[in-house]
Amino acid sequence: MFIFRGAHPFTSNTLVNFLIPVTKSAYFLATLALVGLLMVLGFYLSDDHGKLTKQGDRYLALTKLAALVLLFSTIGSALIELANLLGASILNAFDLTTIHSYLTQTTTGRNFLFQIIVFALVCLLLAAAKKISVIYWCFGLTLFGTLAPLFSSHAASAGNHGLAIGTIVFHVGALSLWVGGLFGLVILPLGERARNITRFSSLALWSAIIVAISGALAAWSRLHFIAGWSSFYGFLIAVKIVLMVILIAIAAKQRKKIAENSELASRSRLLANELFLMGITVVIGAWLSTTAPPTSAADIRAESDPVLGITGLSAPHVPNLSRILWGYSPDGVMLGFLILITALYIKGVRVLAKRGDKWPVGRTVAFASAVAVTDFATSGGLGIYAHFAFSYHMISHMLLGMVAPIGFVLSAPITLAMRTLPIGRGEERGLRGTLISAIHSRYSKIITFPVTALIIFDGSLFALYMTPLFGSLMKSHGGHFLMNIHFLLAGYLFFYVIVGIDPNPRKIPHIVRIITLFAAMSIHAYFSIALLSTSTLVDGGFYASLHRTWNTNLLTDQHLGGAIGWAMGEIPILIALVATFIQWTRDDSKEVRRIDRAADRAEAMGEDDELAKYNKYLAKLNKYDELNREG
């Protein structure tokens, strides 16, 4: 029997302080378990033409349990964080009015509410999961729910704001795939484990590289002064670095044994050791997430900078050509995304080259150009000034929504993926089969309908700039990133429908494409005129809060942004219009050559060609009409 002296443990703040890292660790472990089990169902076990098999029933039950644990651990973490914030006991935190205010009016509370909604949706989807596509959706939602709140973690207030957020997002994402994938591999039977260990090794290599690079950059961005390494936070970072080095060494030894076809027992021991060290690393990571990093004098000065607190950037000097062209402040998430897709694209081209297949150089150049334009519009000098003036934001918008997407579309990434992704084993779809199925799905047919693509492309302009949404998104790093990604994806979808060379679930007549382009041009012009005619600011006071010393007439700058949008928006559409006419002409030429070849074959075989058959058909109809008239 236990006797507690003093305050009851469930009303003690000591218990709250103890439970914070415990619940954090439980949350991380539940996340990793869920990721691992979803990888078992989606990537390790074979499916039956896209449907889950009876072999996966046991793992599906465990996956549902892991999702519930994750949901309730998130709810528990929210309540404990609330109790810690109030300096009250856990029982006193159970007040519905207080909980509602916390979840809807504070950044931390909104993050918890967002995660609770996402993880509850995962639980609902898993409850009725029968197809492998549902597992993929759950996998994506789990990662999304885990990574999205990191945009407002304590990294958001650290030095090198954009880089710090990007490193933690990619670090946690890669670590989740690495540890979760390893956990899923370990719980498989020996036969299935041996069958999937090579598949996991490829993922582990990519994850290890991302974890190592992002971890080093994260440490540098937070501990960019010598005294920081002598702090407790610095000590935890150092321990984590040592563990990561050991992990990578074990992983390398394991891959070597796989290559040498070593005995399965030895490989299993290495997997167990790797999983054990990963578990310790995750616990330290959870500890780090509850520990504030040390601050230097520069950090203290930065914290007093209101502009830095709003945008994550110090106020730049008056813009000039040199500062716009050569300025650079890395947007870590976007930069990491661009590096990742570039690495995947290069890998795909290399796979084709090893096979002896050639990939058109023009497509690679188009991809590289699109990546460069995107980086300039987000991390370059233009990306910096886009945070501080609407006119520069509009230039960035046009590059992201109009110029870069054309390069990505002409680089044919879907074709490259279809030619290089691994096929499934036996009756399973595999990654390539899943991609093909997604392209021809009902959802793809809906969004590639020209009217739908046009609404997403141009309709979102009005939804963003003519509502309070624009000002709200500009106030957070996550919102700004979400807006930039939307520009890219909406532009990619539109130009994919119009001038895309990748497989399309619809065969859209060229005349329809041309009509769609003219409609887009008209709608875009109407939007620009509406923006030029505004008498109030559309940013909800965002730019006024920055108190910039240059270009101080905000309404004039907004009108300039409308003019820029009109001018820059018309040029890419005209280019797409010319490209559509060229494609139409080429298709007609191909059809003429096809008819000529068919005629030559028919003549060589002593048969009538298509034109002769059609003329005979018309003659027969004419003769039939004459007989009817005579009768």
Q: What is the DSSP string of 520-532?
A: HHHHHHHHHHHHH
Between 24 and 426, the higher pLDDT residue: 24
Task: Determine how many CB atoms are found less than 10 A away from the CB of residue 607.
Answer: 11
Handedness of CA 257, 258, 263, 266 (dihedral sign): positive
Which burial class, exposed, middle or buried, applies to 129 when counting CB atoms under 10 A from its CB (0-12, 13-18, 19+)?
buried
Query: Do residues 76 and 204 share a domain?
Result: no
Residue 281: its pLDDT value, please? 63
Res 210 pLDDT > 70: yes
133 and 148 co-located in one domain? yes
Q: Report yes or no on 309 lying in a domain.
A: no
Q: Is residue 316 part of a domain?
A: no
What are the angstrom distances between the C-alpha of 442 and each of 427, 477, 497? 22, 34, 16
pLDDT band for position 153 (cuts 50, 70, 90): low
Report the C-alpha gap between 36 and 3 in whole angstroms: 41
Shared domain check, 130 and 59 = yes
Does any domain span residue 526? yes
Q: What is the rounded average pLDDT for all residues in the chain?
A: 79
Amino acid 7 reads A
- Tally helices (H) and strands (E) across the chain: 27, 0
Lowest mean pLDDT of 77-86, 462-471, 489-498, 548-557, name the range.
Answer: 77-86
The pLDDT-based confidence of 157 (bands split at 50, 70, 90) is very low
Do both 402 and 500 map to the same domain? yes
**Same domain for 492 and 343:** yes
Asked whether residue 333 falls in the same domain as residue 291, the answer is no
Range of the domain at 171: 158-304
Query: In this structure, are 165 and 264 located in the same domain?
Result: yes
Q: Is the pLDDT of residue 109 over 90?
A: no
Amino acid type, 448 = T
Same domain, 139 and 238: no
Question: Is 314 contained in some domain?
Answer: no
Report pLDDT for 167.
83
Would you say residue 201 lies in a domain? yes
Residue 50, classified by CB atoms within 10 Å of its CB into exposed (0-12), middle (13-18) or buried (19+), is middle
**One domain for residues 17 and 36:** yes
Alpha carbons 573 and 576: distance in angstroms, whole number: 5
What angle (nearest 5°) sits at the alpha carbon of residue 24, between those of residues 137 and 219? 90
- 317: pLDDT confidence band, cut at 50, 70 and 90? confident
Confidence of residue 502 (pLDDT cuts 50, 70, 90): confident
The per-residue pLDDT for 5 is: 36
Tell me what pLDDT residue 275 has. 63
Position with higher pLDDT, 84 vs 544: 544
Residue 609 has pLDDT above 60, yes or no: no
* Pair 180, 269: CB distance under 8 Å: no
Answer yes or no: do 258 and 401 share one domain.
no
Has residue 466 got a pLDDT over 80?
yes
Our CA angle for 279, 285, 291, nearest 5°, is 145
Q: Are residues 371 and 504 in the same domain?
A: yes
- For the ranges 153-157, 425-429, 600-604, 624-628, which has the lowest average pLDDT? 153-157
pLDDT score at 285: 60
pLDDT band for position 618 (cuts 50, 70, 90): low
Average pLDDT estimate for 331-335: 88
Domain-located, residue 245:
yes
Where residue 188 falls among pLDDT bands split at 50, 70, 90? confident
Joined tokens for residue 108: 């931390």
How many structural domains are present in the chain? 4
Domain boundary among 125, 152, 179: 152
Model confidence at 8, pLDDT cuts 50, 70, 90, reads very low
pLDDT for residue 287 is more than 70: no
Residues 127 and 195 in one domain: no
pLDDT band at 454 (very low <50, low <70, confident <90, very high): very high
Q: Which residues contact 3 (CB under 8 A, 6 or more apart)?
A: none
Q: Which of 107, 125, 152 is the last residue of a domain?
A: 152
Average pLDDT over residues 452-480: 88
End residue of a domain, out of 92, 118, 152: 152
Is the pLDDT score of 315 beyond 60? yes
Residue 313 lies in a domain: no
Asked if residue 362 belongs to a domain, the reply is yes
